[in-house]
Amino acid sequence: MTPATPERTRVWPWYAMGIAGVVTFVVAMAVPQDAIQGQLSRILYVHVPGAWLAYLAFVITMVASAMYLWRSTLVWDRLAASSAEVGVYFTGLTLVLGMIWGKPTWGVWWTWDARLTLTAIMFFVYLGYLALRRTTDDIEARAKRSAILGVLAVVQIPLVHFSVVWWRSLHQAPTLLKPERPDMDGEMVIALLVSVAMFTLLYVAMMVKRMELANLEEQLLRAEQSDAGPVAGDAVTAPNLGGDS
């Protein structure tokens, strides 16, 4: 028998994640604090990039899902699923950081504000997307079902982002992605943009590692479903009842 060739794993994403984390921390601590919010404003340099990363991840999920429905190539399904998983993580991080910011600012951990509520709904919809993928071991059926949801679910992003513009909201208006010029000090804008860039690098690095894992998971699932391996019970023989040696 020929030994299996080990899958190639990349090391650079780990370094990229570390660099992104360190640079974000340094930038967030080096920039002057807000005149009103004080040290609490430093959450902004993780909270906003976290929200941006969720948007980016779910848009990639939508594009990859559409490509799978068009081409039926499983690499697009792996990309969609991996991006959705990363997006769910950063949506959860965004919600938690928002609650930490909201308690001293609004006096409550949670309020049924439009932005908060819609973000929570988006979080649970994509958790549902990940749960849907676990309802069957049929790779093609799983890919098709989740691809349909991956395309439809992206409509939540404009609702979440512009909810503070369309409805009355406690949440502040968009900081960068808005029609007019950002109403922030230039130094803070630069720091925020650097943080967004570092989180984008973090997304790319995480996706590289998650795609490697997705490929291994798919290979394992195919091996479990393959008929080429031995069948349980093949080595069991009937007992000799005739007494012959």
CATH number (domain holding residue 157): 1.20.120
Query: Quick check: is 231 in a domain?
Result: no
Residue 202 lies in a domain: yes
Tell me the pLDDT of the chain averaged across its residues.
83
Asked, for residue 35, whether it belongs to a domain, the answer is yes
Is pLDDT at 1 greater than 50 in this prediction?
no
Say if 64 falls within a structural domain. yes
C-alpha distances (whole Å) from 178 to each of 161, 198, 205, 218, 239 are 10, 21, 28, 41, 79
Identify whether the C-beta of residue 197 lies closer than 8 Å to the C-beta of residue 8: no
Residue 99 lies in a domain: yes
Q: What is the pLDDT of residues 25-41, one digit of tens each?
A: 998 888 887 767 778 77
For 51-81, write each residue's pLDDT tens digit.
Answer: 999 999 999 999 999 999 999 899 999 999 9
Residue 127 falls within a domain, yes or no?
Answer: yes
Helix (H, G, I), strand (E, B) or coil at 38: strand
Please give the pLDDT value at position 235. 59
Q: Is the pLDDT of residue 111 over 50?
A: yes
Instruction: With respect to residue 145, please indicate whether it lies within any of the assigned structural domains.
Output: yes
Number of domains in the chain: 1
Do 125 and 156 meet the contact criterion of CB atoms below 8 Å apart?
yes
In a domain? residue 233: no
- Range(s) of the domain holding residue 60: 13-172+187-218
